Structure 1
Amino acid sequence: MSSETPPGSLPAVTPARVLAGLCLAVPVVVMLWVSSYTKATPELGGVPFFYWYQLMWVPVSALFTVGAYVLINRDEKARKAARAAGEQ
């Protein structure tokens, strides 16, 4: 078996898709690494670090998700254009 893709077909794994996967994995890994934020200091406006750090990751996670969406969207458009060019 050859690991090369047949001529005319598009690879299933592209750098954009890998980067999109990493964008989605970062917030999950950060939130699962509990020992990194199980402390009370430094406080932010009287709120212990444990709480404000987790709340900070809500919009940050949304930004990572938007980044993954943009990467996948661009990759899909490039695939569609390559398929259309290959059919002509």
Structure 2
Amino acid sequence: MVTPVRVVIGICLVAPFVAMLWVGSYAKTDPAFIGIPFFYWYQMAWVLVSTALTMIAYKLWQRDQRARRAPQGGAAK
């Protein structure tokens, strides 16, 4: 079943792939950051962003699963 929470989870998981596969958006050297060309620091920034998005997706999934189990557990007692 598609719910708004699951759509957000999907977006969180797909966004890093889209960002890394769209090479034309970051295949350049400027602007440099602390002497590091844009091409490299952009990819490294996405490592951190991907970690955060994956964590958010996981927490949302856990909350969604608990919410789905709660009515079933209450009815069984």
| TM-score in terms of structure 2 length | 0.92
Unaligned runs of 5+ in 1: 1-11
Q: Sequence identity of aligned pairs in percent?
A: 51
Structure 2 counterpart of 1:81, one-letter code: A
Q: Deviations over 1:14-51 (max 9, x none)?
A: 21111101100011101111100010000011110000
The corresponding residue for 2:68 is 79
Structure 1 counterpart of 2:75, one-letter code: G
Q: Is residue 57 of structure 1 aligned with residue 36 of structure 2?
A: no
Q: Deviations over 1:49-73 (max 9, x none)?
A: 0001001100110000000001100
Equivalent of 2:20 in 28, 31, 34: 31
Q: Stretches of 4+ moved more than 2 A in 1?
A: 85-88
**RMSD over aligned Cα, in angstroms?**
1.1
| TM-score in terms of structure 1 length | 0.82
Unaligned runs of 5+ in 2: none
